[in-house]
Amino acid sequence: MADVAHEVDAKVMYDSAHVLGLIAGGQFQDPLGEGADVMTGSSHKTFPGPQGGFVLSKSEDEKFHRKLNNGIFPGVCSSYHLHHVAGKVISLLEFEEFGEKYARDIIANSKALASALASEGFDVLAEDRGYTESHQVVTRHGEKDSGAGRKAAKILEDSGIITNMNMLPGDTKALSPSGLRLGTPELTRLGMGTDEMQDVARFFSRALISKENPKNIRNDIINFKSNFQTVNYCFEPGPAYPGLD
């Protein structure tokens, strides 16, 4: 695609909002290496830093870089928040040290979670392709536009699990989707591994298949989560929520 675009002097931009950390950790495709002119990405998803983003390019075209810089500031940004800049510096240093393992563990946990959910009886998409090659797992909970994803997300929230209702192929109504989108970065960051993904899948099953009382599940999840309160993949592992008991 990049070769075709460049034949007509067009530019290719790759949106790596979700997978920037997986790319940086060497566990995903390399868009800039494959010909993209510019890559954007979030600094707070699979890349574990303060909220914000990056705009990256390997282009040696100075005119192109001036256009990028001017488009960002003063084009769409009025301030660059120095406290975020300092936070990103620390995050970059930590990622240089721990990022490859973090990215690798995120994907391993995603695959384990997907497999465990399927074993519990859930309809997990892309089984024939190993479910996932990233941090995300997608599950189907009813017919298209049924709102089953929205209902499932509410039941899980009442049970102490935050998920994202999500449209799936065939859905046409954003507020009545049939699916859920699940991610493993935070679980991984707090020290959970593939064994714990079995436990997480079981909580899903209790809430959505066995239909247990959400309050009982919530209490069990609180006890389960109490064993994972330390931020990992950083220079000095510490409390995930400082000051909170």
- Listed in sequence order, the DSSP H helices in 25-124 are 62-72, 82-119
Residue 229 lies in a domain: yes
Do 124 and 206 lie in one domain? The reply is: yes
Are 56 and 108 in a shared domain? no
**Does residue 86 lie within any of the structural domains?**
no
| Residue at 147 is within a domain | yes
Residue 234 has what pLDDT?
94
For residue 16, the Cα-to-chain-centroid distance in whole angstroms is: 11
For residue 191, is it within any domain?
A: yes
pTM: 0.93
Number of helices (H), then strands (E), in the chain: 8, 9
Residues 66, 182 share a domain: no
129 shares its domain with 45: no
Whether 63 and 146 map to the same domain: the answer is no
Residue 77 CA to residue 98 CA, distance in Å, equals 30
- Which of 80, 106, 126 is the C-terminal boundary of a domain? 80
Statement to judge: residues 134 and 234 lie in one domain: yes
Residues 186 and 232 in one domain: yes
pLDDT at residue 239, rounded to an integer: 80
CA nearest to 27, candidates 44, 10, 46: 46
Q: Domain boundary residue among 52, 80, 108?
A: 80
User: Is there a single domain that holds both residue 72 and residue 104?
Assistant: no
Q: Do 52 and 118 sit in the same domain of this protein?
A: no
The residue range of the domain holding 9 is 2-80
- Residue among 29, 16, 228 nearest 109 (CA): 228
- d(CA 42, CA 20) in angstroms, rounded, equals 7
| 245 residues of the chain, pLDDT tens digit each | 999 999 999 999 999 999 999 999 999 999 999 999 999 999 999 999 999 889 999 999 999 999 999 888 887 887 777 888 889 999 999 999 999 999 999 999 999 999 999 999 999 999 999 999 999 999 999 999 999 999 999 999 999 999 999 999 999 999 999 999 999 999 999 999 999 999 999 999 999 999 999 999 999 999 999 999 999 999 987 787 666 55
Looking at residue 243, its pLDDT comes to: 61
Do 123 and 184 fall into the same domain? yes
Residue 93 lies in a domain: no
| pLDDT value for 14 | 97
Q: Which of 80, 107, 142 is the last residue of a domain?
A: 80
Residue environment code for 190-207, b if the CB has 16+ CB neighbours within 10 A, otherwise e: bbbeeebbeebbbbbbbb
Adjacent-strand bridge partners of 53: 42
53 in a domain, yes or no? yes
Do 104 and 164 belong together in one domain?
A: yes
- Torsion sign (Cα): 128, 125, 110, 118: negative
Distance CA 34, CA 169 (A): 28
- Tokens read off for 24: 């940086």
Report the sign of the C-alpha dihedral through residues 20, 22, 25, 27, in that order.
negative
Q: Which of 130, 140, 228, 128 is nearest to 186 (CA)?
A: 228
What is the predicted pLDDT for the residue at 45?
A: 95
| 128 and 225 share one domain | yes
The answer to whether residue 87 is domain-embedded is no
Within a domain: residue 92? no
Domain total in the chain: 2
Given the DSSP bridges, would you call strands 38-42 and 13-15 parallel, antiparallel or unpaired? parallel
pLDDT of residue 200: 98
CATH code assigned at 165: 3.90.1150.10
Which of 241, 242, 233 has the alpha carbon at shortest distance from 47? 233
